[in-house]
Amino acid sequence: MKTILITGASRGIGRSAALLAGERGWSVGVNYTQNRSAADEVVDLVTRSGGRAVAIQGDVAVENDVVAMFDRVEQALGPLDGVVANAGIVGPPQALADMSGERMRRMFEVNVLGAYLCAREAARRLSKSRGGRGGSLVLVSSIAARFGSPFEYVDYAGSKAAVDTLALGLSKELGAEGVRVNSVRPGVTETDIHASGGQPDRAQRVGATTPFGRAGRPEEIAEAIVWLLSDASSYVSGALLDVSGGR
């Protein structure tokens, strides 16, 4: 059985990945930023499905929070086998010319710095030369990195392109350490991140333009994440895996 940490696991794709891991009997660190009740619900569901879980508060953009988060999950559940760097934010649709520096700064703090801090801690905890057992790091990116998201959020798209580059480079750094690093790039997915960006209908609207004619479901993205965490993907590293309905 594996022990994993999932950031941003109280909702959306992170929540679905935690629940699927619980169904496999894995132990799950459920990170959240603000919504403790939602994180507690995920913990309860993971436990009822046969896994173990603990809720861990922390902002991935704050270095001390990230270090404490990793310490807490290992204290509660044991040494880590995998990490999912999933936490991320999006903003309201805007052209770059209209974006404030504050908006862009927060976008990159959470989506880029947060991913890098979590990846650094994963490298420290999982690497065999540092006492780890090896394992898998899954970075949750977006196909926005391919499209650029013009007139919506080029800042978000750029932040996810940085995540892809992190996966490519870090997979080479950690290959000899027994650690696999991959990026999952969801297409438009039915989660509340769209509402947080001021477009609650975006998943349905954009989903209709895909070859499948619909948006993805968070459970479908979770399947790819958990596969990459599992031993079934033992020879997969440095991959950018699009889960986008053919878009």
156 catalytic per annotation: yes
Strand, coil or helix: 241:
strand
DSSP state of 188: S
Q: Under 8 Å CB-to-CB from 101, ≥6 apart: which residues?
A: none
Question: Which pTM value belongs to this model?
Answer: 0.94
Q: For residue 110, which amino acid is it?
A: V
Q: What residue segments make up the domains of the chain, in order of their start?
A: 3-243
Domain 3-243, CATH: 3.40.50.720
Tokens of 122: 């994963």
Contacts of 178 (CB under 8 A, 6+ apart): 126, 127, 128, 132, 133, 134, 135
For the segment 30-76, what is each residue's pLDDT rounded down to a tens digit?
999 999 999 999 999 999 999 999 999 999 999 999 999 999 999 99
Instruction: Write down the catalytic residue from 32, 116, 153, 156.
Output: 156
C-alpha count within 13 angstroms, C-beta hemisphere, residue 89: 19
Q: Name the β-bridge partners of 57.
A: 32
> DSSP letters along 199-237, please?
-TTHHHHHHTTSTTSS-B-HHHHHHHHHHHHSGGGTT--
Instruction: Give the least confident one: 184-188, 196-200, 209-213.
Output: 196-200
Q: What is the DSSP letter of 11?
A: S
In this prediction, residue 209 has a pLDDT band, given cuts at 50, 70 and 90, of confident
| pLDDT recorded at residue 223 | 98
